Amino acid sequence: MPSPSDPVAFSLFGIGVRWYALFLLSGIVAAIALVRWLAGKRGMDQEFPLDAAPLVVFGGILGARVYYLLLRWDYYVVHPDQALNFRLGGLTIHGALAFGILAFFFYCRRRGQRFLAWSDLTIAGVALGQGIGRWGNWANQEAFGTPTSLPWGVLIDPTRRPAAFSDADRFHPTFLYESIFNLVNAAVLSWLVLRLPGSRLLREGDVLWLYFVFYGFIRFALEPVRTDSLYIGPFPAATWISGGFILFGLAMLVVRHRSRVMREEEPAR
Domain locations along the chain: 8-262
| pLDDT of amino acid 269 | 47
Q: Are 246 and 220 in contact (CB under 8 A)?
A: yes
Cα dihedral across residues 246, 65, 6, 23: positive or negative:
positive
Per-residue pLDDT, averaged over 186-198, amounts to 95
**Whether the predicted pLDDT of 267 surpasses 60:** no
Q: What is the pLDDT of residues 82-108, one digit of tens each?
A: 777 765 557 788 999 999 999 999 999
Per-residue pLDDT, averaged over 115-124, amounts to 97
**β-strands 170-171, 15-18 pairing:** unpaired
d(CA 234, CA 227): 14
E strand residue ranges, the chain: 8-12, 15-18, 154-155, 170-171, 231-232, 235-236
**Whether the predicted pLDDT of 60 surpasses 90:** yes
Q: Which range, of 73-77, 126-130, 133-137, 219-223, averages the lowest pLDDT?
A: 73-77
pTM given for the model:
0.89
**Whether the predicted pLDDT of 196 surpasses 80:** yes
Q: Are 127 and 182 in contact (CB under 8 A)?
A: yes
- Residue 225 backbone dihedrals phi, psi, to 5 degrees: -85, -25
Helix/strand/coil percentages in the chain, nearest 5: 65, 5, 25
Per-residue pLDDT, averaged over 24-50, amounts to 97
**Whether the predicted pLDDT of 81 surpasses 80:** no
